């Protein structure tokens, strides 16, 4: 019987879906934080269940040849870069295998073409967005950083090696301003204090920077003074406050108070320009996003005659890419502010063959299809693109897609497990998985983005 605090020496055999090393003792599985295959480590069990447990490394007795020294000094403590200690080449292999195994095991898919994962030439400083929680430490100092893994304890991070380099300067300015004017960071236990988070975005193509300070209140002391300091950073284009007075873990509230700029920054993916507000969803890795969308466009196989539906369209990024090669694109997104951005993005790019709808994907498309059926028409779609959140597509949406019988379904996924579940449904209902392209959107983390082509079977 295995118990908490027991120590053992084991060799790590595999990596789990959350980036932890996997080792076994007499058939008992242990998930070991910060371990990688072929490490020989002395571990201490931190939690023991009946058939598996969790452990931490006490000592690395013999490191794997694939182990590297993390460039970030707090990589092990921070909950962001869970596999920074694994060589980048092995990170890519790990992610490619995760996608393949999930599609075969969960999706029961066979005979599909799995393309080699698209990695990055430089897997650092790639994120165009960061959200820093602000808290007061035990020593009374203001902390700005990221949460430790599976906690809400803030690990102070002077420099994030996957974020943009300007983030460090922004945090320094805001912290000094808070100290100068005795502005309290947020305390989530008693719901007191003002500054909850600092959101920073950067347009990689334009160099424009946005700073949005999330506050537990209605105003910010000496805001004009802070704005003048932030404007000394090259590229600073938009500064705002976001009001969030709710007792919740949701980072952003709905109200934006603009302090400087137009309420958005601009960026480009390929030759398409986008306006991005603090509330907009926008892919965090612009270099890899271009490759991801190029693959989605290729899989869509557009000739200029197709009617396309783009579900979970956000601010219209994929929709506008597709619209240049389609007859008509309809985009659906539940966040109304994102749809406003999408419509404006279509306007500033001079794209007129696209229409956007506010609502849940699992409601808008079924209602459209059912209305067409009632009126004697046909709910048409030649291609349907889905880019759902991590939970995957709703069952009702999948059912409606099958009823509409598009020739191709292009599925963009941030979770290959839920992707595989939905692939299985389509495979059982007249479709076949044809091509799979993993894209490393999130180097140094366990996450992987995947775009797949699902095609209608023809008897």
Catalytic residues: 414
DSSP 81: -
Instruction: Give φ, ψ of 201 to 5 degrees.
Output: -125, 150
Q: How far is CA 336 from the centre of its chain?
A: 20
> In Å, what is the CA distance from 240 to each residue of 162, 175, 213, 224?
24, 16, 6, 11
380 and 351 Cβ atoms separated by less than 8 Å? no
Q: How far is CA 91 from the centre of its chain?
A: 17
DSSP-based three-state secondary structure for 102: helix
Which single residue is written with the structure tokens 């749809």? 339
127 and 61 Cβ atoms separated by less than 8 Å? no
* Angstrom distance (rounded) from CA 233 to CA 367: 48
Between strands 28-32 and 21-25, the pairing is: antiparallel
Which strand (E) or helix (H) includes residue 180? helix 166-180
Q: Residue 188: CB partners within 8 Å, gap ≥ 6?
A: 135, 152
Which long-range CB contacts under 8 A does 134-139 form with residues at least 24 apart? 134/178, 134/185, 134/186, 134/195, 134/196, 134/197, 134/198, 135/185, 135/186, 135/187, 135/188, 136/184, 136/185, 136/187, 136/193
């Amino acid at each position: 019987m295995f118990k908490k605090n027991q120590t053992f020496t084991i060799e790590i055999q595999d990596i789990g879906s959350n980036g932890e090393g996997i080792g076994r003792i007499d058939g008992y599985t242990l998930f070991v934080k910060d371990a990688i295959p072929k490490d020989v480590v002395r571990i201490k069990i931190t939690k023991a269940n009946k058939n598996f447990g969790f452990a931490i490394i006490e000592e690395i007795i013999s490191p794997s040849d694939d182990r590297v020294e993390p460039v970030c000094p707090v990589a092990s403590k921070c909950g962001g870069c869970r596999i920074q200690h694994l060589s980048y080449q092995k990170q890519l292999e790990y992610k490619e295998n995760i996608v393949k195994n999930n599609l075969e095991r969960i999706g029961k898919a066979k005979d599909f073409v799995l393309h080699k994962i698209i990695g990055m030439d430089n897997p650092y400083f790639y994120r165009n967005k960061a959200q820093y929680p602000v808290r007061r430490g035990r020593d009374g100092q203001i902390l700005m950083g990221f949460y430790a893994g599976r906690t809400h304890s803030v690990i102070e991070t002077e420099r994030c090696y996957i974020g943009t380099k300007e983030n460090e300067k922004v945090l320094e300015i805001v912290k000094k301003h808070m100290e100068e004017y005795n502005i309290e960071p947020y305390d989530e236990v008693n719901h007191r204090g003002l500054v909850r988070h600092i959101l920073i975005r950067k347009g990689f193509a334009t160099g424009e920077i946005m700073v949005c300070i999330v506050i537990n209140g209605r105003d910010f002391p000496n805001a004009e003074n802070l704005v003048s300091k932030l404007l000394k950073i090259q590229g600073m284009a938009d500064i705002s406050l976001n009001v969030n007075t709710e007792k919740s873990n949701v980072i952003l509230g709905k109200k934006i108070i603009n302090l400087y700029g137009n309420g958005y920054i601009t960026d480009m993916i390929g030759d398409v320009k986008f306006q991005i507000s603090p509330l907009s969803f926008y892919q965090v890795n612009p270099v890899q996003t271009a490759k991801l969308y190029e693959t989605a466009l290729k899989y869509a196989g557009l000739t200029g005659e197709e009617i396309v539906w783009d579900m979970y369209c956000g601010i219209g990024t994929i929709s506008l890419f597709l619209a240049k090669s389609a007859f008509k694109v309809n985009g659906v997104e539940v966040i109304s502010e994102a749809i406003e951005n999408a419509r404006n993005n279509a306007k500033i790019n001079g794209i007129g063959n696209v229409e956007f709808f506010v609502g849940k994907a699992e409601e808008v498309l079924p209602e459209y299809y059912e209305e067409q059926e009632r009126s004697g028409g046909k709910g048409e779609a030649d291609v349907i693109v889905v880019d759902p959140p991590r939970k995957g597509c709703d069952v009702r949406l999948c059912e409606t897609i099958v009823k509409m019988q598009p020739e191709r379904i292009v599925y963009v996924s941030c979770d290959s497990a839920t992707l595989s579940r939905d692939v299985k449904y389509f495979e059982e209902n007249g479709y076949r998985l044809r091509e799979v392209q993993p894209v490393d959107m999130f180097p140094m983390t366990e996450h992987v983005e995947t775009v797949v082509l699902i095609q209608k079977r023809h008897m």
